[in-house]
Amino acid sequence: MTNKGRLIIISGPSGAGKGTVLSEVFRSNPNLEYSVSATTRAPRPGEKDGVNYFFVTREEFEQSIARGNMLEYAVYCGNYYGTPADFVERQRLRGRDIVLEIESCGARQVKEKCPDAISIFIMPPSLSELEKRLLGRGTEAPEVVAARIARAKEEIDSADFYDFKVVNDNVVRAAEEINEILKNN
């Protein structure tokens, strides 16, 4: 029988580079499995359903909550985001380490249910760099970017909750730091 896989929580403000850093981490960790989250927000250009997110309606998401099928969930900038529990559990039972890329409210929910989860907060080098990254996407209106910056300040203030904090000032260096955390924990 295989050992149960670990839960690895990755959080950080929108624009901190979580996805880019995780791409590097996955290259050197073949046992990692990415947990695809569900969301009610519209897909961004290039995003694919079932790969980047499960894009669902508000009604579908609320039905999943009512059935207890979400490991965690939250509302962020007017949209639901959450982790389907059945996928995570199936992978862990196969001995796969599951990476949850979730926001801080969801991370707290998971840590309450799974205190042995490893939690890592990816920090931007600065708020000005974060704003530059968000504006550089060109996918959101200025008022949405302003809301994301305000939320980022709150998230950064609560980063002490996490087991580890990693500053993404350089993608390769940040990924190496996360690899060391995973190797030693």
H/E stretch holding 72 reads: strand 70-76
Query: Which range has highest mean pLDDT (7-16, 27-36, 65-74, 175-184)?
Result: 175-184
φ, ψ of residue 108 in degrees (nearest 5): -65, -40
**Cα–Cα nearest to 42, from 135, 162, 144:** 144
> What's the pTM?
0.82
CATH number of 7-184: 3.40.50.300
**Cα–Cα nearest to 64, from 35, 90, 114, 56:** 56
Cα 52 → chain centroid: 11
pLDDT tens-digit readout, 142-180: 888 888 888 888 899 889 999 999 999 999 999 999 999
Domain boundaries, given as residue ranges, for the chain: 7-184
First to last CA, the chain: 22
Rounded to whole angstroms, the Cα distance separating 54 from 40 reads 9
pLDDT tens-digit readout, 118-136: 999 999 998 888 878 787 7
| pLDDT > 60? residue 1 | no
pLDDT tens-digit readout, 91-104: 899 999 999 998 88
